[in-house]
Each structure stands twice: as C-alpha cells, then as structure tokens.
Structure 1
Amino acid sequence: MRFFRDLSLSSATAGFVAVLVGFTSSVAIVFQAAQAFGADAHMITSWMWALCLGMGLCSALPSLVLRQPVMVAWSTPGAAVLATAGLAGGFSMGQAVGAFMMCAVLIVLAGASGLFERLMNRIPMAIASALLAGVLAKFGLQAFVAAQTALPLVVLMLLTYLLGRRWIPRYAVPLTLLVSVVWVVSHGQFQAGAVSLDWARPVFTAPEFSVQAFVSLALPLFIVTMASQNLPGVAAIRAAGYDMPISRLVTLTGLVTLVLAPFGAFALNLSAITAAICMGPEAHPDPKRRYTAAVVCGALYLAIGLVGALVTGLLIAFPRELVLAIAGLALLGTIGGGLQAALHDDRHREAALITFLVTLSGVVIAGIGSAFWGVVAGAIALFVQQYGLPKKA
C-alpha cells in the first residue's frame, strides 16, 4: 500500500505531536463547555468520543484520497464561547445540541455555496502568511515562557533540537520529543495516576431548538469557528503550497458535525496549529508524502475516541511545559517561512506586518478572536496604501 511506503518516522512523529499539542492544549476548555450544560462524566466521555471520531475521520480519509495533509480539529474558541454562554444562559444539554446542529447547517451552507472559499481567494498571500505566522507565533512564545516553570526541561529540549537540526535535521523534532519524555519519566513528572483503562460509550441527547439558543449559542459558535479557526486553517493550507478543495472540506466538517452533534460534537473545522506541524518540512522533506502525518494524526484521534480514558489520561499525564515546548519548536520552521512570505513583497509588507501584530496580540472584540481582526486590519491597511495605484507588473 502506498501509504506505508510513504510513511516515515518523522511524519509519524509529526502526527503524534499534532495530537499531543491539539488535544492537551485545549481539552480542559472542552470539559468546561460540557459542564456548562450540566454534562456528567458519561456525557463528557461521549463528547470526546464524538469529537475525536469526527476529527479522525475528517483528517485521515480526505488525506488518503487527496494525498494531501487535511487536518481537522475541534473549535477551541467555539468551546470557550460555549463555556461562557452556557453558564450565563442556563441552557440545557438538549438546547445546546440543537444549537450545535444549527451551527453545523450554517457551516454546510458556507461551504456548499462556495462563499467562504471565494472570500479566501480575495486575500493576498502576504496577508494570509502573516495571519498564519501571527497565530503560530503565540505557540513559539509559549515554548520559551514555559522555561519560567520548567527551565531544565525547556533548555534540554532547545539544545537537543538545535543539535538535531545541525546533525540530523529530519529527525530533530522526534529526537527532542524522545529526550524530553525520558527526562520527564526519569524525574517523576509523568502523572501515571491520570491513566486508566476504559472504553468510551456514546450518549445520545435529543436536540431542542429555540430562537434564544440560536442567537446565544449557534450564531456565535458559527462566527468564531469560521473567523478564528477556518480562516487561519485555509491560510495554513495555502502557505504550505497545497491546493485543496476548500469548499468541499468545509462542507464535510459541517456535515460530520451535524451527524455527531447529538453525541457532543459541537463544531469541527480546518486546523491551523496542528496543520502547520503536519504540513511543514519537519514532517517530511517531500511535500507529497506529508499526507501520512495527517493520516497518523487522524488514526490517533480515532484511538483516543474509542479507547477513551486510557489514551486521554496518557496525553494529559505529560507536563504542560513539555507540550508547549515541543509545539513551539516543531513550529519554528513554519513561523519563519510565514514571516518570509509575508514580508517578501515590499508593496504588502506594512499591511502584512499589521496583520501579524494584530493576530499575535490576541485581542478579542465582540467575542471574535484576533485572527479575524488581523485580516480586517491588514485589508484596511492594504486598501489605504494600494487603492487607485497602478498594479506592479
């Protein structure tokens, strides 16, 4: 099978790192969102089952078909919106599920109509690259901020990465991950008590539809998912040089969300952070073989969804500093490439820089994250500077 011929240690490691980063960095927010609607332990497990099943299928299958790294994740800002709105509004789990399904329908319409892709086609590559760099730079910064609480671990990982980049650049990230895991285990920082054997059991919740839930839950969830997740997700795809059927992929995430919503899948979307890990040169020097990293990532998500508490506990057992550091180091090449592409053309340089800085700032206005406002600020700057001027040949 071609997949096994194309698979390499570096791409498999990239898939694992993507899961480690994507899961452990935001799983607590998903738990909070579920609890905001009164979920018990069984319902929370069902949420994880539905989300991981959706992410796994939407990542692995399209990647195998397209031979390109398609990366799908849950909507982290969407979970934050739900956690806040759920507590404030006193919504039931049934009303929440109804809102998830209404949001899914809006995502399907945005994808099937081609409206979202047409909007993305009008964004210059410099702005898209700056957007991606701004989103990823946060993780690069966190890698070094982690040194405040785990200085020996972070310094060890940095030195291992730098030596690996010099002597065996293709395996620098796997080597760094291996060394850090050995360090954590040998120093008793691996929380083995978090690991327990249990199978996930889906729990069906009948949806309840209401105007209040649509306005307070579904609409904000749709806006932040499209603006703060799908937008940088497409930027990551294009910055990596891939040509994917964006509209069909967005439609797919909406359809899968619609099917799995009664079990807790609140919103699935194209990924930016984990996509950058699997689409970068660290995953594989040959762009045509990086799809294997996405397939591995999808398979691991499926395993987490099916095995439940065992794999979930295993991932959570790693120190937070290890997750932050390995994410930042794995993304260094992509951050540098994004900045280079953003600042290469002097006509777009200032607009791209504004996009980068606004995105990096993390500003939230009207409940919408900085990724959206970065594009807005960059587009305004580009319009002011370029409108009416003759195009450069």
Structure 2
Amino acid sequence: MRKGDLHSLNIPSKHRSNAAIGSQNLSSGIVSGLLAATGPPVIILEAAANGNFTDAQTIFWMFSVYFFGGIFSVVLPLYFRIPIVGAHSITGVAFLAGITSQVPYNQLIGSYIISSLLIFLVGILGLFSKFMNYVPKEIIAAMMAGIITSYVVRLIVSVQHLPLIGGTALLTYFLFSKWKLRVPPVIAAVLSGFIVLILTYNFEAATGSNTGFVMPKFQLPEFNLLTIFTVSVPLALLILSNDAAPGIGALEQNNYKPPINKIVTLSGIFSLFANLFGGQSANVAGMMTAICSGEETGMKEKRYIAAIVSGILIILFGIFAWWTVPFIKSLPGDFVSMLAGFALFGVLGSSLNLSFSQPNMMISVTFTFVIAMSNISVFFISAPVWALAGGALIANFVEKKKEKQVGKG
C-alpha cells in the first residue's frame, strides 16, 4: 500500500458510531454530574436549616430533586436523542433559603406544587416566550443577584477563617479560569479544597448525625394564597428564566432543534413528582445542558449519551442522600459556606452582567437589586417579590415612558 492511499480508507459507519461512545461523552457527563453534586447540596442544607427541617425532611428534599432530576436526564435524552440534562434549580434553592424560615413546611410543599403547575401550563399552552417577556429578564437577573450576593460575600469571609483551604481553592479557581480547561473552575476549586480539608481536618472528631437509611415518603401539601403568591410565582419565574431559557438556548446554539414546549411541560411534570417527596423542582438544567451539548462532547449525534451519564450520577447522588446529608453536615461551617459561595460565584457574575446590560434600565435593576438584597418582609410578603414587582413597575411605567419621550424629542 502506498502512503497516499491511507487518505482514501473509509471506516464503516458502525465503527464510527461505536467509537463515539467514548471518553468525550463520558468526561462531559461526569463533569456535568459533578457540577450538580459539588455546590448545590450545601445550599439545600442551609435552606433546610433556616426552616428548622428535620433530618428526614432534609433527606427527602435532597433525594427528590436529585433522583427525579436524574431520571429527567435519562428519559428525555433517550427519547429525543438530544443532550437535555435535568437537575434542580440552584437559583430556586438560593431563593428558598431566605423563605423557609417564614413559611411552614407543608405550605412550602403546596407552593412547590403550584409552581410546577405554572411551569406545566406555560409549556402546554406554548406561552414560554410570552411569559418571559412579561417581566424583563434583566429584572429577574437583578433579583437573583440581590438574593445570592450574601453567599458570595461569605466566601471571602470563609477564606479568611480557613486561609490554607480557601487560598488553595481560590488559586485553583483562578488557574482553571485562566487555562480554560474542560473541567469547570468551580469543580476544580471544590475538589482541591476537599483534598486540603482531608489532610488537615479531623473527621473522626466531627459529630455528624447518624440518621441511617431513610425511606422516601409522600409529603402532605398545604395550600395558602399568600405563600402561593410569595413563593410559587417567583420560583416558577426563576426556573423558567435561569434554568429553562439557558438550557434551551444552549441546545439551539449547538444547532439542535429542541422541542421547547415539551421540555418546559416535562419540567413541570418531573418537578411535580419531586414536590410530592419534598423537593422544589426537577427541571432542565442550563449550565449542565451547555456542557453536554458542546462540541467538546464529541459527535453531535452521540452527545445525548453525556446527558445520560450525568443523569445516572445524579440519580445515585439522590439515592444516597441518607448518607450525603449527614456527611455534609459534619463539615466545618466555614467550608460549607465556601462551597456555597463557589457554587453561586458564576451565577452572581452572569446575573450582574445581564441585569446591568441595558443602560436604559439602570434605575429599575438597581432598585430590584437593593430590595432583594435587603431581605425585608412587608405584609408577610418577602423581599424577592417586592423586588420583582417594584423593578417591573419602574421598567414598564417609568423607564419605557422616559425612553418614548426621548424618542419624541
């Protein structure tokens, strides 16, 4: 055989297909799964602690969002053959962390159910784009930034209290951000921090809870008009804007044609199953879908395998919630705050970038941000709701009118 003939060899399509089920799919799926399991569980535990949840209720929450989110990641990619990844809404949990202390547990379950039904209706009626236009995305982003700023600020405080662990994690985060490696900086930072923690922390002296295996149980909902207004509507908005929109956008950016209304509808259905066991949602995940749908995941036709791998890891994390919850509770408080800060660092940056991206909305987003950050409660209505309402009113009736007047001038 001549040297030039090597270029004319054709590999059978069957062999190319099998070769595509390999390292690229697996690595992207593992990275996506780790992203779901590193920072978000810590925020769930904080929200549960704020609401004085029992150990069993906390485990139910952790189990439900990961188990049903994982099933979402397996079923939808297998059916549609596109890399749709499911998880729970980290921004939704961050929002709930400031709510759980104000709302009884059973009313929270009821408000989760209404939120899922709202998402289901938005999908089944094909109202996704119209629903998102009603409240400007910049206002939702500013509300989110206001809610999570305190978490990221506590990251810096935690680094001061744990300089060796925090310094190592920060340095790793910056290096991985600079090198732009396939492993997200958040995962690299958390793993490096864990390694230093293992070498320096006495786990045997930590007094963790010996809960043991807990069988998942249905949680009884209680419906209250006020909590539906203060919890269900903002939670649905956050899931649609911060999870569904980026996830669907990532698929379209990578030349897929996702069934938008079906994805939103199924997000509502899977979330409803998670609600019945104590979780707030199980929906399409934005960042994780972006990871599994990118070019570095391999052949376009086989990228859905990465989503399935991610889903399997997420399911396992949910099944072992009875073990992971006591373990995370046994970690030092400053380290847990550090994990939460890293998990929300990128969310804060993107939220601030989006919220202040329109110069003609400077007043509305600034008011939205500071109201959400104030954590006030007026007439039993929480700060995020006031932030959304105030910001939307200013954006629609002050700044738009001002813009029209400038246009006429």
Q: TM-score, normalised by structure 2?
A: 0.68
The residue correspondences of 1:238-277 to structure 2 (distance < 5 A) are: 238=245, 241-242=249-250, 248-259=262-273, 264-265=277-278, 267-268=280-281, 270=283
Which residue of structure 2 aligns with residue 22 of structure 1? Answer: 40
**Residues 12 and 40 of structure 1: is their aligned pair in 2 closer, same or farther, counting only changes over 3 Å?**
closer
1:287, 1:369 → 2: CA distance? 42
Which residue matches 2:216?
Answer: 202
Higher Cα radius of gyration: 2
Q: Secondary structure at the match of 1:214?
A: coil
CA 1:173–1:44: 2 relative to 1, 3 Å:
closer
Q: Give ranges in structure 2 of 5+ residues lacking alignment.
A: 1-17, 253-257, 298-302
Residue 52 (structure 1) aligns with: 66
Alpha-carbon shift at residue 375 of structure 1 (Å) = 3.0
Q: How does 1:1-393 map to 2 (within 5 A)?
A: 6-7=24-25, 9=27, 12-13=30-31, 15-27=33-45, 29-30=47-48, 41=56, 45=59, 48-62=62-76, 65=80, 66-73=82-89, 76=93, 84-86=102-104, 105=117, 108-109=120-121, 111-114=123-126, 118-167=130-179, 169-171=181-183, 172-190=185-203, 194=208, 199-203=213-217, 213-215=222-224, 220-221=227-228, 223-227=230-234, 229-237=235-243, 238=245, 241-242=249-250, 248-259=262-273, 264-265=277-278, 267-268=280-281, 270=283, 278=288, 286=294, 289=297, 298-329=311-342, 331-383=344-396, 384-387=398-401, 388-389=404-405
Q: CA deviation at 1:188?
A: 1.8
What is the deviation of 1:224?
Answer: 0.8
The answer to whether the 8 A contact 1:277-1:330 is kept is no
1:226-277, Cα deviation, whole Å (9 max, x unpaired): 31x3322333244674467665445434433544655x33542658xxx566
Contact map agreement 2:139 2:355 (CA 8 A) in 1: yes
Indicate conservation of the 8 Å contact 1:108/1:252, yes or no: yes
Letter in 1 for 2:153: L
**Structure 1: gaps of 5 or more residues:** none
CA shift in 2, pair 1:278/1:257, >3 Å:
closer
Partner amino acid for 2:233? M
- Return the TM-score normalized by structure 1: 0.70
Alignment CA distance shift 1:377-1:106 (3 Å): closer
Q: 1:372 to 1:8 in 2, by over 3 A?
A: farther
What amino acid sits opposite 1:67 in the alignment? P
Distance (Å, rounded) in 2 between the aligned partners of 1:112 and 1:143: 40
CA 1:379–1:48 in structure 2 vs 1: closer, same or farther (change >3 Å)? Answer: closer
Task: Judge conservation of contact 1:232–1:371 (CA < 8 Å) in 2.
Answer: no
Cα deviation code 1:180-199 (max 9, x no counterpart): 11111111254676487955
Q: Let me know the Cα RMSD of the aligned residues.
A: 4.5
Q: Percent identity?
A: 22
Contact conserved, 1:157 with 1:179, CA < 8 A, in 2? yes
User: When the two structures are aligned, how many residues end up with a matched partner?
Assistant: 368
User: Structure 1 counterpart of 2:83, which letter?
Assistant: R
8 Å CA contact retained: 1:78, 1:225: no
